[in-house]
Structure 1
Amino acid sequence: MTTSLRHEGRTALVTGGSRGIGRAISRRLAEEGALVAVHYGHDLTAAERTVKEIEAEGGRAFAVHAELGVPGDAATLWEAFDRALAEQGAGPGLDILVNNAGITVPRTIAHVTEEDYDRVFAINTKAPFFIVQRGLDRLRDGGRIVNISSVATKFGYPAIVAYTMTKAALDYLTLALAKELGPRGITVNSVAPGYTETEINPTLSIPEIRQRYSDASVFGRLGRPADIADIVSFVASDDARWTTGQWIDASGGVHLGI
């Protein structure tokens, strides 16, 4: 465990918290003292693995199951969260909400079906919206909401047009919520990764594409989930109490300059 427990005494919920960037965020928040609800939609094994890793490192965590992108998903999530939190013997309420869960549609507009479109918006945009809406009475004053966006919203990426549209909508939600929740001392920010080493991007298995993505960063490498998790932990901390409504580039300097 780190000696800097800046999230000690806090409770966090990380959607999609069992794999990739979400797993790294869950572990980082727990490392710094938070009790972490590791949400998962389908992969119970991954969620249990993440919880065990956190516990092995001296942290506290529990798994929460709810399929996102289906009717009533937000209500199901919060019911599962409340129930699991009570089983942990913890008091009700939440301090940190990280909207991380998401899927991608790696297709140009000509190949995106209505089913593709509806599903990616249901999981990436609609679910966070209603998770926040139904979670406002649980989120304590002085709390934190962190929405995981994408650096793709600042550039033209025709190959993932529908996915990028969902993240652009999430960025606007960040602005609106920051304005609305400011009087309660709640900060709301977007953290935008670039090319990151996760299973959400199957093209990373192609050496040429992998090299191109690495070269796009000024550091000459792909991002690691821990790179993103460290930024999220900062934004979720009291150190970032004066930062809200911001879109934070977590891409490693992708596409700086011409």
Structure 2
Amino acid sequence: MGHQRLGKMPAYRLLPEIVRYIVDGGIPTEAVADQITEFGREALKSALKDDVFIEALWLLIRLPQAAATNNAPRALAEICIDGATPSSVSEILFQYDRSVERVQRRIHQGSTDLGEIARRAGLSALAEGMQSNLPSLWNPGADDVWASLVSLRRTENFAALAHSFYANFVERVIHYFVDRNLHNMIGPGRIARSVHDVGTFDSAVRRHCNESALIMRTFARDWLGKNHYRDGKAISRADTRAFSSHAVEKIRIELALRKGKP
């Protein structure tokens, strides 16, 4: 109830071309990446207005920082995370998901599908970040899990986390529209001639979203280093919104430079 559908976003017009480029082949990688980057930029601009999107990104920043404090339970409670020390990655993901979902319920009249997409992108980024920092994939102990979470506060690891979040978000937004139109895409004489073509599309979209979001790594690393470590700021939701706004502008500038525009 009260749920608002996204409808056709400003860059929806780019989707047929994105699909056609990837399925037909023979188009330079730069052209495909430009289309996806432009689409993602428009989605991110819309997401800046969604409090759930901001919450999902803000928690990715603050959760590792809170876990690293001398009084972690208190610091976690301050950001609406259960202060009990989790013993598994799944428990941390559950706490993150529940906290973001709480915001969704609170503002449910103004919640959009972009917020839901951001929640899932945040979960994926957090899981990927923690798994990559575990000493072993086989039965890691509670101390290993906690150390992995704490390690995400480092600037380089946050850069990877932000990259993963933005790449996941843009990929999911593209699929939000495409998956609803698969029945119109597949068949003789259509954009995708077979299910295999759709599989090729999925792989290519994932690759190009990752490539397009790479420009975020340096910016995210330097932003956190300046604001949190140099200036000692406790990153607020307003700071997170400003960070994401600058991120969108960075993507726009990068896209313009790649196209040879001033």
Identify whether the pair has TM-score above 0.5, normalized to the shorter chain: no
Q: Higher relative CO (CA 8 A, sep ≥ 6), structure 1 or 2?
A: 2
Greater gyration radius = 2
More helix by share: 2
Q: Which has the higher strand share?
A: 1
Give the TM-score, by structure 1 length.
0.29
